[in-house]
Structure 1
Amino acid sequence: MKKKPRVAIQGIKASFHEEAAYKFFGKEIETIECNSFKQTCDKLENNEADFVIMAIENSIAGSLLPNYTLIREYNFAVTGEVYLPIQLHLLALPGVKFEDVKVATSHPIAIRQCVDFFDDFPQITVIEGNDTAACAKKIKDEQLKDTVAIANSLAAELYGLNILERRIESNKKNFTRFLILEQNKNEQEKPINKASICFQVGNHVGALSKVLQIFAELNVNLTKIQSMPVLGKRNEYYFYVDMEWKEMENYDTAIRRALKYTVNFNIMGEYLKNDKV
């Protein structure tokens, strides 16, 4: 019997992390629930999980900066990516009507993405929770008849809640990008056309520009650049870069040339581009 992949997620079942895991791996997985992103990394490092799926950026909230540091410090391999549309609904116990609602609860980021909706209903008190799905579960467990959760349809299905209002998010084109992490940089069986790298450059005029020019000359498209300060060192930064290419030879050449102008260069992962939302 084929063993189900063990996927560590931040949050509980029916969270957006599990929804993203389903989208990437299919539903035949064993979900390892974790209280924090660091705990997901510990599970992978201790062989209690085969993969971590980790949110890295949201089209509204921006990058999750601490997660870049986690990936680098644990030295995990980025082996895939998945984009998930973030669709937020109001979930309540069966029989509860909208006029009964006094409290709405969810993760702070989810709440921020629905401020326009709640501006129209000042009688509803909005309270922050630690996880969208956990807020839905609490409504079921405690039978809260005056409270709604802001969560996804997966949470409604799992915890037996009704959807009172659909798609209350302010931006209907909101999505989150997740990375797939593994312990080792295994040889990819499928073709690769995207990479995530990290490096530092010297603190002098044109240092970063020189590296970026190398990729431009070889038609390697840089899809994201994120800088992070080096802890305890003034004016020193890590640069995290995502890139795509059409010709593998161009990418290989660009990497070799860039090595001459960088320090602490690390290819965090090479994988197949997967930007379908």
Structure 2
Amino acid sequence: MTTYAVTGATGQLGSLAVAALLDRGVAPADLVAIVRDPNKAVDLRDRGIEIRVADYGDADAVRTALEGVQRLLLVSGSEIGSRVPQHATVIDAAKVAGVGLIAYTSILDAPNNGVALAREHVETERLLAASGLDHIVLRNGWYSENYTAALQSTIDGGVLYGAAGDGKVALASRADYAAAAAAAIIDGTPRVYELAGDEHLTYADIAATIAEVSGRPVRYQDLPQAAYAEALASNGIPAPINDVLADSDAAVARGEIDTDATDLADLVGTTTPFREVVRAAL
């Protein structure tokens, strides 16, 4: 039997990927959940999944966690600016442990994407290519949940702020991307997937959908990139996150978070409509 492992298995994407692997027939006994805090993984342990504790930056712990693993889903780290050395640690540990295949969650059209977030993904893709390991690159587009994290305040204020102009995003739910990761790693064919949703929405469309589902008036207010970063900072978003968010909106305005690629739908079928994600969030 093939043994699968998922890093960040209690995180937002990792936990959904674990669930998607189980839904696709992977037995709990053939699944390893790699986590930083085992106290957050009690439900996974109760389902018969082996819990192994490792931080991306701890080479020895990661090597131990990967022993006996054939296929690894490397969910990209969340510490912007530190991800390349962290990912390198995992890739090196995978080589030592004899992992046969790594699937990595990257960003849409990474080599050509001008968003600042793409840089660490591009470097990680290079590390994978240089590793000699079979690998799958899951170039994820934007999550619908990016626009529901502060949903209630958006509805209460009646305004969705951003710096995306008339640019479009091909949104899909986090669960869609998790299901795609599970399907790709079970299939096991080394390749690059460009993953994005079926809908192509402007921020005005997003605001209109929030208004439709909530029954409250919501409009989109476009700001210059610098002004949007300042507005985020004034609302308590710390640097450099506010700059990253504003930079990401600028990428949307340039059309870099939209694509006609159908890889996501090819893997999982029709993707979740944005209105359903809003409805679930409410």
After TM superposition, the score normalised by the length of structure 1 is 0.30
Structure number with larger C-alpha Rg: 1
| More helix as a share of residues | 2
| More strand as a share of residues | 1
- Work out which structure has the larger RCO, using CA pairs closer than 8 Å and 6 or more positions apart in sequence: 1
After TM superposition, the score normalised by the length of structure 2 is 0.30
